[in-house]
A and B are shown apart, each in its own frame.
Chain A
Amino acid sequence: MGYKITAKADLSPIDYFVEVEAPHVAKAWKPGQFVVFIVHEKGERVPMSVYKAENGRIGMFIRKLGKTSLQLYYEYSVGDELWSFVGPLGKPIKVKNYGNVVFASDAVCGQAENYATLKAMKEAGNYTISIQSFENKANVYPEEFLAKPVADEHYITTDDGSVGIKGNYLDVVKELIEKDRVDIIFAGGKLGTLAKLAELTRPYGIPTITTVRQIMVDGTGMCGSCRILYGNEIKFACRDGPMFDAHKVDWADVLKRAERFKEQEQLAKERYLEELRARGVI
């Protein structure tokens, strides 16, 4: 039995949206939790953040990155089925009234969580501030996929200033902190930026909760692939996270471990792109 794709759309030239029918996951999912899917029988187990869990369906934002994400983009359409879909995995974030809640993100997985987290936070009575960073105007998502509807304040930044504020979410966060408007900050997206965010908020003692993505296999705490050093203890990102207090994470190690399979992934991607070209798909 597979899991049917019920919707699919481009978010930008580099990111896309996919919705999959998985009632067992949708029923139990809470913000902060992720899923793992396998596209087909020979596929890899791929962790993914959740944008929406509604009507038995799970929506996800995916970047065209390597073999799996490209294959799902080019070869699977609405009506097709994914081979395996498990979740929700990881621990939910604590949703309560913190006051001013900021969610900042600068890459696909963070953008998905930005919406999901702030929606829950708003419902819990918080004042919500969303900052969504993109490289340039072309990469900004269509209005309907932005976190705007669930944010009391919504900012877009672009690296080149082609739309919104020029710069990265770090710049906006800095200003908000200086105006004393941040009670807690959540963030997702690029690991490198998260590491910088941790340093930015540390001197102010602002609670900073970030996704710590690591390469995963099972996602259930069985393999140890996703291990990180957290306050000098070994933690498993899939089981104990994936949202962690950024101030306790050893970011230097996290960044190194994320690169573990670079050569193999490159090889698989090249081979796959060649295949797509040969078949005239791209």
Chain B
Amino acid sequence: MPKLIKERVPTPERPPEERVRDFNEVNLGYTFELAKQEAERCLQCPVEYAPCIKGCPVHINIPAFIAKIKEGDVKGALRIIWNDNTLPAITGRVCPQEDQCEGACVVGKVGTAVNIGKLERFVADYAREHGIEDELLQEFARECSEKKGKVAVVGAGPAGLTCAGELAKMGYRVTIFEALHKPGGVLAYGIPEFRLPKEILDHELDKLKRLGVEIKTDHLVGRTVTIEELLGEYDAVFIGTGAGTPRLLNIPGILLGRIYSANEFLTRVNLMKAYEFPEYDTPIHVGEKVVVIGAGNTAMDAARSALRLGADVTIAYRRGREDMTARIEEIHHAEEEGVKFEFFLNPVEFIGDENGRVKAVKFEKMRPLEERDRKGKRKIVGTGEYVTLEATTVIIAIGLEPNKIITETPGLKTNPNGTLVVDENLMTSIPGVFAGGDAIRGEATVILAMGDGKRAAKAICDYIEKKAKAEA
């Protein structure tokens, strides 16, 4: 039994005063030495028991990869991670580990949990920077030479990218159809560079291309080409179109200028690089006071981006602090950087100026009850008291719904909330058409989307093989 080291080895971070001035990454990650030190803290729970594995939505063999880090064998560690997760540089950065692997880790019962997320990220980054990934990739690419069939993937978010990668590894010819000009889904347009540098994403995309996956950007399926047409040309289709439609508040003043959905704001800033306007052509305006409504990752990302554009930023949330859904690390970072938080405020009206632009938000103060809702959050009621916050810009981050264009496909069944209906093999109501990620779950997480992509790839493989046998 190794000695228990209660406190985790910290990862270096750039100081808040420095990082709020640019969009570069906040957390710098472990060095080789620090990673080994942190790896020492893992108690190496037996695989059949290890709570971290159970806590991981795709069941990465965490103690095994950590053991490899201890030995200094990064390639071995990467091979283990890749068994279950081909995008560790991304998940290591964006997974809500505190609710998953780290939340379950036994070390966390007496001290702070093993920093599994940052170790995962270390393996990916180190392997990429030292050519180790290349070696492994070549091994995989060799296995991809055999062509078994053709699959179309709709949407280049984590679900689609994972499904495509897995299928390519199994020997299928895969084409991804992506509506935007850049693949990545939320990773490209939503999550800002200071959390996930575009370089990392680009590298992952490159990896896929090296496995032979073709990515057709500028193709909106349902408009440029239909599912039916894809089925005519491909043996199967995977839909990973995400939950890309913003929910807006249906309250007076919603059409005023400078009220953005978080998606619009983040797309302008991130994908279109509006923070470099007019060097880049897409404009954005924040003014002095930004109010962000919501308390998830999207709200944190929007708030911290607005901060970097020079604004004074307040997050207003209708519930209490403990009910915020963002990753703990993001909430901490936001606080450190100077984002202010107001709780128990429910927006009821946007107030505009003479130019049709927002100038303030009126909120009703809310009061928590003892009673809890189905999700375990305390119920809230209005108090009849109102407050007004000044705002030159408002960003609404209260959630997303599945993108509607794909759901117009004839024969494609949806649930009342707009998500696609799938069976236990992730097959939709149209034979040969599979789906996963936010498109079937509503707003979920990167790792769950990847897990679906992977499961769907296996199901698609079975489906095509069965079909081929039936036809033979």
Identify the A interface with B (CB < 8 A). 24-25, 28, 33, 38, 42-45, 67-68, 83-89, 217-218, 220-225, 227-229, 234, 239, 250, 253, 256-257, 259-261, 263-265, 267-268, 271
A-B contact count (CB 8 A): 130
11 A-B pairs with CB atoms under 8 Å apart are A28-B224, A42-B281, A43-B280, A45-B181, A45-B282, A84-B217, A86-B224, A87-B220, A89-B220, A223-B263, A264-B283
B225 within 8 A of A: yes
**Which stretch, B243-251, B298-306, B372-380, touches the partner chain A?**
B243-251
Q: Answer whether residue B175 sits at the interface, using C-beta atoms and an 8 A cutoff.
A: no
Taking a contact as CB atoms under 8 Å apart, the answer to whether A239 and B405 are in contact is yes
Residue from B218, B283, B284 with most neighbouring chain A CB atoms (10 Å): B218
CB distance from A36 to the nearest CB of B (A): 9
Is there an interface contact between B248 and A227, defined as CB atoms closer than 8 Å? yes
B410 within 8 A of A: no
Residues 207-229 of B at the A interface (beta carbon under 8 Å): 216-220, 223-225
Q: Which residues of chain B are within 8 angstroms of A234 by Cβ–Cβ distance?
A: 248, 250, 254
Is B356 interfacial (CB-CB < 8 Å)?
yes
Using a CB–CB cutoff of 8 Å, the interface residues on chain B facing chain A are 179-181, 189, 216-220, 223-225, 244-246, 248, 250, 254-258, 260-261, 263-264, 267-268, 272-273, 277-285, 355-357, 403-405
Q: How far is the CB of A170 from chain B (nearest CB, A)?
A: 25
Main secondary structure of the interface of A (DSSP, over half): mixed
Assembly CA distance A268 to B219 (angstroms): 29
**A220 and B403 form a contact (CB under 8 A):** yes
Contact B224 A87 (CB under 8 A): yes
Closest chain-A Cβ to B242's Cβ sits at a distance in Å of: 9
> Which of A87, A222, A271 gathers most chain B CB within 10 Å?
A222
Given contacts A44-B272, A89-B223, contact A265 B250 (CB under 8 A): no
- In the complex, A259 Cα to B264 Cα: how many Å? 16
Residues of the A chain whose Cβ atoms lie less than 8 Å from the Cβ of B218? 24, 84-86
By the criterion CB–CB under 8 Å, are A221 and B404 in contact? Answer: yes
Q: Are B281 and A222 in contact (CB under 8 A)?
A: no
Bound complex: CA of A221 vs CA of B258, how far in Å?
18
B397: shortest Cβ distance to chain A, in Å?
12
Q: A44-B281, A222-B263, A261-B285 are in contact. List 19 more A-B contacts (CB 8 A).
A: A24-B218, A24-B225, A38-B181, A42-B273, A42-B280, A67-B278, A83-B181, A84-B181, A217-B282, A218-B179, A222-B403, A225-B264, A227-B255, A256-B356, A257-B255, A257-B257, A264-B277, A268-B277, A268-B278
Residues of B within 8 A of A253 (CB): 255
The 3 closest A-B pairs by CB, nearest first: A264-B283, A256-B356, A84-B181
Known: A24-B218, A223-B264. A42 touches B279 (CB 8 A): yes
How far in angstroms is the closest Cβ of chain B from A275?
A: 11
Shortest distance from the beta carbon of A254 to any chain B beta carbon, whole Å: 9
B261 and A224 within 8 A (CB): yes
Which B residues are in CB contact (< 8 Å) with A220? Answer: 179-180, 220, 244, 403, 405
- Which residues of chain A are near B181, meaning CB under 8 Å? 38, 45, 83-84, 86
Q: How far is the CA of A280 from the CA of B273 in the complex (A)?
A: 29
In the complex, A67 Cα to B284 Cα: how many Å?
15
CA distance A220 to B272 in the complex (A): 15
Task: Report chain B residues within 8 Å CB of A87.
Answer: 220, 223-224
Shortest CB distance B296–A (Å)? 17
Find chain B residues with CB under 8 A from A88 CB. Answer: 223-224
Which one, A44, A85, A86, contacts B282 given CB within 8 A?
A44
| Most A CB within 10 A of own CB, among B180, B189, B357 | B180
